[in-house]
Amino acid sequence: MTTVRRGIPTSLPAEIDDTARKLRRTLQGKENFTGIKVENQRVEDFLAKTDGDKLVNAAGLDTAVVETAAIQLAGASAYLSAFQDTSQTLSTTEQNCQGVTFTTTGENLEVFFSFYLNVWHPAGGSIDTTLRLYRQGTLIWDFVVEATGGDFAFGWQSVVVTDAPAAGSYLYQLTTQTSVATFTTATASSRFLSVTERKR
């Protein structure tokens, strides 16, 4: 007959008793925890199949431990960019500032553009610069840069636009257009545009 003291049997089968003894000694700091068995496998045997952070090969996994069919490894992100350091004079006619043709597999895209805008309009009235981003001729983003005090607009214009088109090749174009034709200076320089596809 097994007697119980404080809720713990005092007489156990040999294998269970050995595991319980090791567990007690481990909790007391008297034994390394790797001496304990987990599901009939010694912990150190399992750890030996790892590099300390992750399993290093399929041999480190028992059958049916991981449903490998459900695991999808992400490919590297795809990236393409274009850059022109020359200065482009702006106009009341919408014109291309920078463009990139990108082929996507249908994952989420990040379209980043950056350029230095310099607009000076000392005459009366005001001047605005409209920025537009197109995907294959379809407008996906626009913004109006208003001249400070109706006369000045200068500085870096840097924006990230997210897009999620179907798989295929698309031309991404950034365009500029001023509201008036009379100005002393209206330029876009250091024109950069990139498209990055983030793989899941």
Structural domain for 36, as ranges? 4-70
* Per-residue model confidence as pLDDT tens digits over 105-157: 999 999 999 999 999 887 667 889 999 999 999 999 999 998 877 688 889 99
List phi, psi (to 5°) of 167: -55, 140
> What average pLDDT does this structure show over 173-183?
92
Q: How far is CA 188 from CA 57, 65, 119, 172, in A?
A: 53, 58, 9, 18
Question: Which has the closest alpha carbon to 147: 103, 105, 171, 178?
Answer: 178
Q: What is the pLDDT of residue 198?
A: 82
Residues 54 and 93 in one domain: no
pLDDT over 70 (residue 62): no
200 neighbors 74 (Cβ within 8 angstroms) = yes
Q: Which carries the bigger pLDDT value, residue 1 or residue 13?
A: 13
- Both 45 and 118 in one domain: the answer is no
At 128, list the tokens.
């605005």
Q: For residues 9-16, give the mean pLDDT.
A: 57
pLDDT at 41: 57
Which amino acid is present at 60?
Answer: G
Between CA 59 and CA 71, with CA 65 as vertex, the angle to 5 degrees is 90
Query: Same domain for 176 and 133?
Result: yes
* pLDDT (0 to 100) of residue 166: 96
Q: In this structure, are 172 and 143 located in the same domain?
A: yes
Q: Count of domains in the chain?
A: 2
Task: Tally the residues of the chain.
Answer: 200
- Identify the CATH number of the domain in which residue 109 sits: 2.60.120.760
